[in-house]
Every structure is written in structure tokens, then in C-alpha cells.
């Protein structure tokens, strides 16, 4: 779980410092830096697995030229910054498996990873240059500092379930000796001289090379960062059946949902039979999908023994069965997220751009609820039913902004800044709503002005959506942006309509139940 991220020198991200909770929504117009932040997260994840150059070539550069690695650096006019600097504070799992199948046990589960990368001109390369590692550090954050470092509201039992261990020295550190810079790797729990590497000669980060034997904690950090992924659910991938030999686990494009759901159902069925119960997996997915469309009565996986194929299918109220190839794009995306929600092994950080794409506005609340449920519940300990999982989305949709909890919202805008040379340039600025926990974490930063939100505060949702949805324990959802009294005073929401919704006791997802969105008849 990424709890804080600092970035400077990457595209239009200069002196950016963002605090994250389990669920975060980043809102802003096009071309202000929303996608650049996701590119940073992806870049760091790639660096934990590949060389500096290969990682850079897989990230979208400024102007969309994937071969121009210099385009990753911030520039003012024709002058580029000398370095890209990153700092990530994160909570990691207690254990992981390395490339040789060895188990690694972390000695501490709260860490801070710092990285600085520069550019080196090289006429012998087709890219006109290469990247050089300037510094790399991996430090511990002790339990005594955790309560002050973890700024988002959470229960003490949750914190105790994810934080453990102690450490007195860094796992990876950078040290300058005369005119050379060395990166040092220390072994966990072993007294002795750390291994030193000349930074200028390193083609990749030290973190990307660690194993379970010498550096178990660094290996768990590496696995955590490798698990950071951007969901780009493609309808074509979602419609494909899986073979019997397909390994379970949904990919970033939505591939292998049938195999994943089938595996989850079979595993739960075996457990249920031992306890004399029935497996609830298919029913849980169908119940979730019924919040999105009302005609669904069953969700399952057809097992074709002749062709050895697993095909996702949905059954409507009239008994009609629709295979995945006949389902609408919006239904397939929602269904994939519903399967992800119940997959306990799908941990880590999940980024998703504009989840409202292909979704009718009246059905957006259902998908926002689902994305929040995918994220870890910080009011209860982490476990099989509550994996350590985080969700970050971005949007420019007023419907989405109205529905997210106000303390989960980050607003990004393009601001004017001044470089050391005195030249002015545009950079991304992230801010939050007044009175939310991020304001307490960073009291020196100005919160989002109400004027920034005017474009999002349109009365796009009908008043009968009523009060926020309650969770499985009957507790009310965290206050949504559209429920804030200070924003209602701007006159963009109908308090009369909202009151009618509260009086009727209707839940907001009841308005979703109109017309089928399952088959080819629906375009959402």
C-alpha cells in the first residue's frame, strides 16, 4: 500500500507530495497531470523488475514518443531537469516468494524508498542517451513513528495487523566517496560489511536484483512494487474464453476472468462441502452485478469438456443465458471488477483511469461503490476477506466526483511556477477539500478552492438516489462530496430532492434497476 509519494522532475510533476489512503480519486481536466502520476507509479513498478532503460521505454513520454526517454524529464523550454527524484512510503506484506521459490520474511513492514535518476548523453544509442542511477535508498519506518506517519483515519486493530518489526540501519543506502557515488546493500539481520556498487555503472536499481536469502525485506518491497498495476480492461480480452490449463489470476487487460472465477468457485465449493454448506462465490458475483443491472439472476462459468474451454456467462430473469461475447462493454468491466473484489490473492496497488467510461451516468454510483469495496477496509484487520489492497482512480467526470467520499478526493490543476533560471512554466498541483485528513497531514499546503470544484458540482444525479449506501454491517458510507453542507450552499445540489430521497428510505442503487444492460441490446 502506497501511503505517500513525492515526485520531482518527471514530466510536469515538480515538487509534488501526495498522501494516499486505501481509496483515492484524482479529479481534474485533461492534460494537467492525472495520467502522469499513474505513469510514475508504473515506472517505479517497472524499475523493480527491469533495467533503467527498458523501464523508461515502456512509459509514455511527453508527446507520446515511447523511444524518447528524455521526454520523461521535466523541461522548461529547451532546458531539461538534470534528475528525476522519487520517494515512496509504503506498507508491505509480511512475506513474499523470490524468483527461485524461496520465501522471504520482512523484518519490518513500513518502509521508505528513495530513488534519483539522471540522463547521460550517448551518441552510440538510438535513443540519443541513457539513464544513470544517481542514488537509491531503502529505509525503515519504525512502529513508534507509524501512527504519526499514517495520516488517513484507520482503526488501531488494522494498523497492528499490517505493521510489525524493528530496524536500526537502512537496507539500501547511497554514499559519496571522493568523486564517486556508491550504492550499498545491507543484509537483513547480519552484521558485516555491506555490498557496494558504483552507481554510475549500474544498469538497473539494486532493489531489482535482491533475493530472499540475503535481503528478504528488500525482496518483499520489490514484490510489492511489482504488484502495482494499471487496470486497462479491454472488452476484447474480457470476451475471450480460457483454456482448462489457464492459470487463475486476472491480468491488467481483464484476461482470464473465466479461469479466475472458476478457480475461486471450485476452491470455495470444496471448502463448503467439508463444512456441509454450498459455495457462495457465483451467488456473490451475481448479487453484485444485480446492483449494476436488475435482470441478472445468475453468473457462472460454462465448462466445455470437448473444446476444453471455460466461458463466462450471465443468466437473465427470463432464463436467457448470455456468454461473454454477447455482453456489453460496461457489463463486462463491472463483472471483472466484481471478480477482482472477491479474489483474496489480488493485492497491491490498483490504478484505473476514468472507470466511468462506457457506463451510463445513472450506473456510475454502483461502480464507485465496487471500487471502494475492492480497497482494503481500514476499520478491520487485514485477512483473507480483507486483503491489503489499494485503489487509485482518476476522472474528469462530475458524476464520479459527486459520489466519492470527500476525504478521498484529490483535485489537480495546472499552476504557474518559476524555475531557478527565472523562467515560468506550468506544473501540476494537487490539493484536497478543506476539513479532510490531508489538510491535517500537510497544513502548510492550500486546500482546493471551491471555485476549482464548480465544474464538478452539477446536479447530474436524480434526487431519488437518496442517502449514501450502507456497508455490510449497516454503517453509513463516508460522506460523499455531494453531501457536504459547505458545497451545497453554492446552490448546485437540490437539498429538497435529497430530503425526499432520505424520507423515502430508498438506496441510491435502486434507480439503477431499469432496463437490461446484459445483452447486445445495451450499449453501456
Asked, for residue 316, whether it belongs to a domain, the answer is yes
CA dihedral of residues 432, 437, 443, 444 (deg, nearest 10):
-30
Asked, for residue 296, whether it belongs to a domain, the answer is yes
Domain that holds residue 313: 239-344
Asked, for residue 318, whether it belongs to a domain, the answer is yes
Alpha-carbon radius of gyration of the chain: 24
The parts of the chain modelled with pLDDT lower than 70 are 60-67, 123-128, 189-192, 271-279, 450-451, 454-477, 487-524
What's the rounded Cα separation, in Å, for the pair 174 and 295?
60
Per the structure, the count of domains in the chain is: 1
Asked, for residue 292, whether it belongs to a domain, the answer is yes
Asked, for residue 312, whether it belongs to a domain, the answer is yes
| HEC sequence for 223-255 | HHHHCCEEECCCHHHHCCCEECCCCCCCCCCCC
Q: What percent of the chain has pLDDT over 70?
A: 82
Nearest to 482 by CA among 496, 471, 497, 493: 493
What's the rounded Cα separation, in Å, for the pair 394 and 34?
6
Asked, for residue 337, whether it belongs to a domain, the answer is yes
113, 117, 119, 136 from 176: Cα distances, Å = 18, 16, 19, 12
Asked, for residue 300, whether it belongs to a domain, the answer is yes
* pTM summary value: 0.86
Give me the pLDDT at residue 425, please: 85
Give me the pLDDT at residue 517, please: 44
Q: How many CB atoms lie within 10 A of CB 472?
A: 7
Give me the pLDDT at residue 116, please: 98
Parallel/antiparallel/unpaired status of strands 23-27 and 389-395: parallel
Asked, for residue 510, whether it belongs to a domain, the answer is no
Amino acid at each position: 500500500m502506497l501511503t505517500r509519494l513525492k515526485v520531482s522532475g518527471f514530466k510536469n510533476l515538480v515538487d509534488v507530495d501526495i498522501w494516499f489512503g486505501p481509496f483515492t480519486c484524482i479529479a481534474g481536466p485533461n492534460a494537467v497531470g492525472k495520467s502522469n502520476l499513474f505513469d510514475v507509479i508504473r515506472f517505479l513498478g517497472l524499475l523493480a523488475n527491469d533495467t533503467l532503460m527498458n523501464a523508461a521505454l515502456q512509459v509514455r513520454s511527453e508527446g507520446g514518443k515511447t523511444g524518447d526517454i528524455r521526454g520523461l524529464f521535466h523541461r522548461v523550454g529547451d532546458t531539461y531537469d538534470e534528475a528525476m527524484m522519487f520517494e515512496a512510503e509504503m506498507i508491505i506484506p509480511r512475506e513474499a516468494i523470490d524468483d527461485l521459490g524461496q520465501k522471504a520474511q520482512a523484518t519490518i513492514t513500513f518502509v521508505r524508498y528513495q530513488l534519483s535518476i539522471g540522463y547521460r548523453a550517448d551518441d552510440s544509442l538510438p535513443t540519443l542517451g541513457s539513464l544513470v542511477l544517481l542514488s537509491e535508498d531503502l529505509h525503515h519506518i519504525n512502529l513508534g513513528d507509524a501512527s504519526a506517519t499514517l495520516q488517513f483515519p484507520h482503526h488501531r486493530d488494522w494498523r497492528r495487523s499490517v505493521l510489525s518489526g524493528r530496524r536500526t540501519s537502512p537496507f539500501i543506502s547511497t554514499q559519496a566517496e571522493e568523486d564517486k557515488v556508491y550504492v550499498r546493500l545491507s543484509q537483513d539481520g547480519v552484521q558485516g560489511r555491506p555490498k557496494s556498487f558504483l552507481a554510475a555503472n549500474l544498469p538497473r536499481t539494486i532493489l531489482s536484483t535482491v533475493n530472499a536469502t540475503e535481503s528478504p525485506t528488500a525482496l518483499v518491497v520489490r514484490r510489492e512494487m511489482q504488484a502495482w498495476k494499471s487496470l486497462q480492461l479491454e472488452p476484447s480480452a474480457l470476451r475471450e474464453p480460457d483454456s482448462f490449463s489457464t492459470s487463475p489470476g486476472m491480468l491488467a487487460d481483464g484476461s482470464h476472468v473465466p479461469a479466475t472465477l472458476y478457480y475461486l468457485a471450485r476452491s470455495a465449493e470444496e471448502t463448503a462441502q467439508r463444512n456441509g454448506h454450498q459455495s457462495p462465490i457465483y451467488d456473490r458475483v451475481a448479487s453484485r452485478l444485480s446492483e449494476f443491472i436488475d435482470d441478472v439472476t445468475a453468473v457462472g462459468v460454462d465448462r466445455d469438456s470437448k473444446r476444453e474451454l471455460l466461458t463466462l456467462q450471465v443468466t437473465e430473469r427470463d432464463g436467457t443465458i448470455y456468454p461473454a461475447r454477447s455482453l456489453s462493454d460496461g457489463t463486462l468491466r463491472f463483472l471483472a471488477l466484481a471478480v477482482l473484489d472477491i479474489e483474496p490473492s489480488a493485492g497491491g496497488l490498483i490504478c484505473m483511469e476514468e472507470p466511468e467510461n462506457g457506463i451510463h451516468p445513472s450506473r456510475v454510483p454502483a461502480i464507485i461503490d465496487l471500487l471502494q469495496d475492492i480497497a482494503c477496509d481500514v476499520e478491520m484487520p487485514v485477512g483473507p476477506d480483507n486483503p491489503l489492497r489499494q485503489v487509485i482512480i482518476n476522472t474528469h467526470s462530475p458524476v464520479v466526483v459527486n459520489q466519492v467520499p470527500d476525504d478521498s478526493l484529490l483535485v489537480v490543476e495546472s499552476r504557474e511556477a518559476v524555475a531557478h533560471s527565472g523562467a515560468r512554466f506550468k506544473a501540476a498541483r494537487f490539493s484536497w477539500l478543506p476539513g479532510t485528513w490531508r489538510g491535517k497531514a500537510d497544513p502548510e499546503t492550500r486546500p482546493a478552492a471551491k471555485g476549482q470544484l464548480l465544474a464538478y458540482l452539477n446536479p447530474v444525479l436524480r434526487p431519488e438516489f437518496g442517502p449514501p449506501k450502507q456497508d455490510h454491517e449497516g454503517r453509513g458510507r463516508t460522506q460523499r462530496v455531494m453531501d457536504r453542507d459547505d458545497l451545497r450552499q453554492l446552490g448546485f445540489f437540490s437539498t429538497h430532492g435529497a430530503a425526499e430521497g432520505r424520507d423515502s428510505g430508498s438506496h441510491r442503487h435502486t434507480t439503477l434497476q431499469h432496463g437490461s444492460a446484459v445483452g447486445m441490446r445495451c450499449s453501456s
